[in-house]
């Protein structure tokens, strides 16, 4: 499904601000796999998602989706394969456009945009059904501007837009981080439902260890631009926050020591 092969990315190379954000990272996802991603601030989680989405070109490595090498495609061309929800609720929708216009735009993701009318009445009906499932009473507000919605409503709408058209890959970057705990929980429940119902291959970054354990089939932990832990199945289900934290400390220390070894040898 998704194959990431030895990707590296250094920001501001050859300057004092040089930062190796991804270093020789490889990852392979099965069809329909729901992976949660954790790691401390600056570990490279968002950078990994940006690399997949094509925000900027990679220094090295390859990204392949369903057999198509997308490494050299710009982000707007990769959108054909990828649905995305950002951490910032303002980024996922066009604030001055109606809910239905936003959804119609998402519906044509990856297809040619013609001079046909932007929204047909059949689509409007389809949107209403999809929105009803969110249970946020948005189905009666199709011609409300997205900018008038609350952060949680906007994230839920963005999620719906990102998962429309069955994208081969869904990228979620701390999409509940800006929401209050109750709304975050609700959006997370919606996420799980959409991912499962549509069998979407998903990468979801979160800072909540418990959510990372409770949701998804596989968990990866990142540190310093690398994946330092990758667990799934029973092992993931049975792990606890405490165990993850202690494993994180061990693993990042191990890494530190091996770095020191390299330096001293």
Partner 1 sequence: MNLLNLFSRFPTALAQGLIYGIMALGVYITFRILKISDLTVDGSFATGGAAAVMAIIAGASPIVALLLAFITGLLCGAVTALLNSRLKIPTVLASILVQLALYSVNLKIQKGSALIAVSVDRYNLLISSRNLTKSNLTGLLLTAVIIAILYWFFGTETGCAIRATGNNQAMARANGINPAVSRFIGLSMANGLVGFAGGLLAQFQGFTDVSMGRGAIVIGLAAIIIGEVLHSILIPRNFSFMLRLIFVIVGGIIYYMVMVIILWMHIDSNDLKLFTALIVAAFFAAGNLKNKGGFSNAED
Ligand X SMILES: Nc1ncnc2c1ncn2[C@@H]1O[C@H](COP(=O)(O)OP(=O)(O)OP(=O)(O)O)[C@@H](O)[C@H]1O
Instruction: Please identify, using beta-carbon distances, which residue of 134 and 209 lies nearer to ligand X.
Output: 209
Indicate which single residue of 97, 142, 177, 251 sits in contact with partner 1 (rule: CB under 8 A).
97
Among 3, 19, 62, 108, binds partner 1 (CB under 8 A): 108
φ, ψ of residue 17 in degrees (nearest 5): -90, 15
Q: What are phi and psi of 26, to 5 degrees?
A: -125, 145
Rounded Cα distance between 245 and 251, Å, is 10
Biggest distance spanned by C-alpha atoms of the chain: 70
Cβ neighbors of 186 (< 8 A, separation 6 or more) are: 152, 156
User: Residue count at the site for partner 1 (CB under 8 A)?
Assistant: 35
CB of 47 or CB of 163, closer to ligand X = 47
State the binding partner of 15 from Mg ion, partner 1, ligand X, none, CB within 5 to 8 A by kind: none
Rounded-to-integer distance, Cα 114 and Cα 136, Å: 32
84 binds partner 1 (CB under 8 A): yes
List the interface residues with partner 1, window 48-77 (CB under 8 A): 53, 74-77
What would the two tokens of residue 56 be? 């900027």
Of residues 7, 92, 31, 129, the one with CA closest to residue 138: 129
Interface with partner 1, residue 242, by CB under 8 A: no
- Between 8 and 123, CB nearer to partner 1: 123
Distance CA 103, CA 119 (A): 9
> CA-CA distance, 66 to 168, in Å (whole number)?
8
- Helix (H/G/I), strand (E/B), else coil: 27: strand
Q: How far apart are CA 194 and CA 129, in angstroms?
A: 14
Q: CA Rg, the chain, in Å?
A: 19
Residue 245 interacting entry, from partner 1, ligand X, Mg ion, none, C-beta within 5 to 8 Å by type: none
Stretch that binds partner 1, among 97-105, 173-181, 206-214, 244-252 (CB under 8 A): 97-105
Answer yes or no whether residue 192 interacts with partner 1 by CB under 8 A. no
Location of structure tokens 């004092």: 16
With CB under 5 A as the contact rule, the residue among 36, 46, 153, 208 that binds Mg ion is: 46
Q: How many residues bind Mg ion (CB under 5 A)?
A: 1
Q: Is 91 in the site for partner 1 (CB under 8 A)?
A: yes
- Supply the minimum distance, in Å, between the C-beta of residue 252 and ligand X: 13
Which of 93, 176, 183, 208 is in the footprint of partner 1 by CB under 8 A? 93
List residues binding partner 1 (CB under 8 A): 53, 74-77, 79-80, 83-84, 86, 90-97, 101-102, 104-106, 108-111, 113-118, 161-162
């Amino acid at each position: 499904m998704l194959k990431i092969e030895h990707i590296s990315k250094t920001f501001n190379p050859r300057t004092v601000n040089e930062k190796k954000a991804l270093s020789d990272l490889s990852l392979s996802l099965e069809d329909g796999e729901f992976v949660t991603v954790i790691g401390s601030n600056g570990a490279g989680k968002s950078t990994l998602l940006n690399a997949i989405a094509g925000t900027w070109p990679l220094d090295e490595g390859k990204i392949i989706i369903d057999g198509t090498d997308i490494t050299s495609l710009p982000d707007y061309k990769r959108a054909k394969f990828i649905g995305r929800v950002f951490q910032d609720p303002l980024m996922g929708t066009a604030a001055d456009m109606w809910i239905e216009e936003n959804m119609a735009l998402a519906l044509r993701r990856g297809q040619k945009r013609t001079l046909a009318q932007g929204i047909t009445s059949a689509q409007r009906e389809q949107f209403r059904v999809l929105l009803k499932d969110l249970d946020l009473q948005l189905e009666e507000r199709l011609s409300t501007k997205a900018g008038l919605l609350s952060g949680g409503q906007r994230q839920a709408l963005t999620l719906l837009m990102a998962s429309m058209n069955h994208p081969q890959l869904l990228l979620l970057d701390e999409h509940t981080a800006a929401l209050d705990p109750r709304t975050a929980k609700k959006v997370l429940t919606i996420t799980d439902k959409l991912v499962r119902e549509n069998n979407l291959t998903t990468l979801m970054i979160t800072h909540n260890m418990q959510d990372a354990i409770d949701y998804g089939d596989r968990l990866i932990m990142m540190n310093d631009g690398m994946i330092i832990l990758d667990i799934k199945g029973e092992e993931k289900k049975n792990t606890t926050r405490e165990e993850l934290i202690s494993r994180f400390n061990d693993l990042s220390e191990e890494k530190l020591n091996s770095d020191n070894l390299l330096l001293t040898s």
